[in-house]
Amino acid sequence: MTPKLILASSSPFRRLLMHNAGLAFEAHAAHIDERALEEPLEREGATPDTVALVLAKAKAKEVSDRFPTRFVIGSDQTMSLGPQTFHKPKDMTDATKHLQVLSGKTHRLNSAIAIAYDGDIVWEHVSHAELTMRPLSADFIARHLNRVGERALSSVGAYQLEGEGLQLFSRIDGDYFTILGLPMLPLLEKLRELSAIDG
């Protein structure tokens, strides 16, 4: 039997969250140019929430156009410190700069999610988490990035909270699923409403 759900993502973490929740689904990456969508939004001064939502909806819609009779889940996450929006570090030098800027401060993760059906967005949502990074010395940042290596380049904050990145923090306000970029509780509630999963 073909699952009713498609996750429009190639993220192993998002796939694992869906799998662990007992959902039957397929995963298909969206064919969109994220930077091409982000750049005009940033020039116009769009909020981090708006950027994340636009990308989540674009992913869901692109995959839904290919699989119109299925519920397609798109998601995206931005990270903000005050008015500044962060992107994945380009290299280890960039990762070092990210951690230096975040050191001793509280930043926000903005996790957007959208569901598309038959090419139309039928639901959208944004959840937030606030993370306070403890003060980090330059030497510690260098040692930490040396240990985690290229994994630091796979997330906007240059850390993985599900791994050694946890050591960087003194306080976390927000749920684990939002931090990993797929707010599962509101998603599951909506999927039950849509009769897409057993309610």
pLDDT, tens digit (0-9, with 9 covering 90-100), for 22-42: 999 999 999 999 889 988 998
Q: What percent of the chain has pLDDT over 70?
A: 99
pLDDT class of 57 with cuts at 50, 70, 90: very high
Which pLDDT score is estimated for 114?
A: 98
Catalytic-role residue among 49, 76, 91, 118? 76
Element (H, E) at 18: helix 12-20
Site of tokens 């057993």: 198
Averaged pLDDT for residues 70-82: 95
pLDDT at 11 over 90: no
Site of tokens 């010395």: 137
pLDDT class of 128 with cuts at 50, 70, 90: very high
Residue 49 annotated as catalytic: no
Q: What percent of the chain has pLDDT over 90?
A: 81
Q: What is the pLDDT of residues 134-185, one digit of tens each?
A: 999 999 999 999 999 999 998 888 998 888 999 999 999 999 899 989 999 9
Structural domains of the chain, ranges and CATH numbers in brackets? 5-193 (3.90.950.10)
Which pLDDT score is estimated for 1?
A: 67
β-strands 84-86, 25-27: how paired?
unpaired
Helices (H), 31-171: 34-43, 48-66, 92-102, 138-148
Chain Cα centroid distance, residue 138: 27
Element (H, E) at 186: helix 184-193
Q: What is the dihedral of CA 165, 167, 173, 174, to 10 degrees?
A: 30
